[in-house]
Chains A and B, each alone.
Chain A
Amino acid sequence: MKFVDEYRDQAKAEDLAQAIARIATKPWSIMEVCGGQTHSIVKYGIDELLPEHITLLHGPGCPVCVTPLELIDKALLIAARPEVIFCSFGDMLRVPGSGGDLFSVKAKGADVRIVYSPLEALKIARDNPRQEVVFFAVGFETTAPANAMAVFQAHAQKLPNFSVLVSHVLVPPAIAAILSAPDNRTQGFLAAGHVCTVMGFEEYLPLAQTFHVPIVVTGFEPVDILQGILMCVEQLEQGRAEVENQYARSVQRKGNRPAQELMSKVFRVVARKWRGVGEIPNSGFGLRDAFAAYDAETRFGVTGYHVDEDSECIAGQVLRGVKKPQECPAFGTRCTPERPLGATMVSSEGACAAYYQYRRHEQTSLAAGRRS
């Protein structure tokens, strides 16, 4: 596939890995913010190619993982209602709430449907005028334009039976929260390439300056990630703290203006709670008053609900890069993809799930290798 295969090329990957090894004279810790990048790093074994003293930390770039527990519970409550057709991206189906997930609610008879695009949920609403269709609007800034358009079109078409359960989160406040924490270990960032495709990268300039960290906007294929790491290490070695763009084939400085315009018509910035991290001010999107009629929480009367996280789950520390999944006492034993304690084990982007799928045998195989 064009614009994909070229960035999965072994020779290029090796060239970049060797370039990194050549210039890295000191140990550095770099965080990738986006779950899709985590997925790629673990799937392609990119850290295998890096010199030992470069550490990759996995950040909170999985909107599925950071959706607060009470919002999952609200989704379950709404989905269980007989008049509701609950539509969601596949990612959310297995995220555990306080008692079950969307899959188990479906098993009990709820009408829960996976869609690829929020516009498909709109179509379901048009095709089922006697049912209430609710769409789980989760995501970072990348998905916000799509979700905004769904609400905008519902309003234009005067669709009475469509609403959205909003859980949008923003990346720059999360980066600020990570860098401000006293136990922060991150020295450089790979910013999320598709978030920046929508938003541009100007809002990262003050972050780079204030906290003196290099930020490289990076793509998702192994060659992209390696090039992003190379650019970040170069900056660290040279003591620079600038915003650079590795993903120039997709990202422009100012981002996608039509998308941003529609987003600001439909959404406003609000405080949002991040599962495992806590509330971060100005870190999410909520519907503007003009579109408040499409808010599912209000429509179904599930506002003002509070729930506590499982105490054993250390997802918050994993999301901030402070701990690795294997350092959790429950990892692989009391917490597995089949019985997850927290969202980082459920979503395929979550650091814990990624490690479980690709890495948990490493200790076994290393030990076996030494014995044979």
Chain B
Amino acid sequence: MAPTKSTDKPEASFPVGCPVPITNQDFVTLAHGGGGRMMHNLIDRIVIPAFGNQPLESRHDGAVMRIDKGRLAFTTDSYVVHPLFFPGGDIGTLAVTGTVNDLAMCGARPLCLSAGLILEEGLPMATLERVVASMALTAKAAKVDIVTGDTKVVDRGKGDGLFVNTAGIGIIEHDLAIAPTSVRPGDAILLSGDVGRHGVAIMAVREGLQFETTLETDCAPLAEPVLALLGAGIEVHCLRDLTRGGLATTLIEIAESSRLHLGVSERDITIEEDVCGACEILGLDPLYLANEGRFVAFVPPAQADRALQVLRLHSVSATAVRIGAVSESPAALVTLHSRIGTKRILDMHSGEQLPRIC
């Protein structure tokens, strides 16, 4: 962010000698992205107080931090979810959690985040405040600071309300190479909890599909259980959080990258009753639904029990279970052992799963 020479109080309601009144605006306008007084007021009034940290408050072009020698993890993601608010969370919650979790999946301790906001002209200021507050709260819970960022405003009709990009840096405090290429035949496949909740929570508020449920998104930061696994000396071979495409897609990606075979049992995968009900009426497969607070871990078989013990001490992975194992062949495929005792190969869906009646 550019430095400001402002001596005005951020909460000033009336200008002195300026033809355009800088009132407490209810809506984002193009002027808020113009680089002038209104943009600075927006950042000073809404963004900086919410994220409140020293690098951000210095209002420099970038944040500078000191780190020890070692390896860094670096990741970025953009968030365009619609609607902006859904049961249990919003785009802000996702934007922080998603990037924190990607760092965690590298086995890194999340250090700091950047946040780029693209606002559509006409976005209610109250919406922006709510999202920023969510981001601040989520960052605090995940023990990261948002130390730098950017704000832009686009013409009405060009932005779907609000887009967020977050990038993150984490410190790697171990020597393991956590990646699909480290997966070995015999590895146990662990799943941190039940699946499908986020996907159903979003569906519940989409127009044309509304239904009543007390289900909320499973969106949650995952760094703690991962760091606990590493701290307990578990030789973690691979981690992956589930996100879009669900458990099935994640497993397929890992099978294809590692060129190994993954066998999992339907019986061991927990799906909450609400999620089952929603999937039945919309004709969706919960194994392909999005999650925002679940991950799979690949560990040596001898350490599987201990790993589960460690995971179950953390609320976000309290119901962690072993769902299957890795073998050599058939290579690059995932086999699901169904609840009626038959087998099928899991394949990726070509696009987003759509509700069906047929």
Contacts and interface: CB of A to CB of B under 8 A. Distances in A.
Complex contact flag A–B (Cβ < 8 Å): yes
Contact of B339 (A10, A89, A356): A10
A14 B341 contact: yes
Given A49-B342, A89-B358, A94 B277 contact: no
B266 to A, nearest CB: 10
Contacts of B281: 116
Given A8-B339, A358-B347, A1 B280 contact: yes
Contacts of A8: 339-340
A13 B358 contact: no
A1 B276 contact: yes
A35 B339 contact: no
Contacts of B345: 358-359, 361-362, 365
Chain B interface mostly helix, strand, loop or mixed? loop
Contact of B344 (A43, A89, A143, A369): A43
Nearest to A124: B208
A89 B356 contact: yes
Nearest to A368: B330
Contacts of B338: 43-45
A257 B21 CA distance: 68
A143 B330 contact: no
Nearest to A103: B351
Interface string B47-83: 0000000000000000000000000000000000000
A36 interface: yes
B340 A356 contact: no
Interface in A199-230: 222
A124 B342 CA distance: 44
Interface in A90-146: 90-91, 93-94, 113-116, 120, 124, 139, 143
Given A1-B280, A4-B280, A361-B333, A45 B342 contact: yes
Interface centre among A48, A90, A113, A357 (most CB of B within 10 A): A90
Contacts of A368: 329-331
B358 A91 contact: yes
B209 A13 contact: no
A364 interface: yes
A360 B350 CA distance: 15
Contacts of B358: 35-36, 62-64, 89, 91, 139, 347-349
Nearest to B354: A90
Contact of B340 (A63, A222, A360, A364): A222
A116 B209 contact: yes
Interface in A32-53: 35-36, 42-46, 48-49
Given A4-B280, A349-B358, A114 B328 contact: no
A311 interface: no
B8 interface: no
Nearest to A114: B208
Nearest to A9: B340
A284 interface: no
A246 B286 CA distance: 28
Nearest to B273: A1
Nearest to B343: A45
B247 to A, nearest CB: 16
Nearest to B276: A1
Interface in B178-196: none
6 contacts: A45-B343, A48-B342, A114-B355, A116-B208, A349-B356, A369-B329
Interface of A: 1, 4, 8-10, 13-14, 35-36, 42-46, 48-49, 62-64, 87, 89-91, 93-94, 113-116, 120, 124, 139, 143, 222, 336-338, 347-349, 356-362, 364-365, 368-369, 372
Given A13-B341, A90-B283, 11 more contacts: A4-B280, A13-B340, A42-B344, A89-B355, A94-B351, A114-B209, A116-B208, A116-B357, A120-B208, A360-B347, A368-B331
8 A-B pairs closest in CB distance: A45-B342, A90-B354, A365-B330, A368-B330, A337-B350, A115-B208, A90-B355, A361-B345
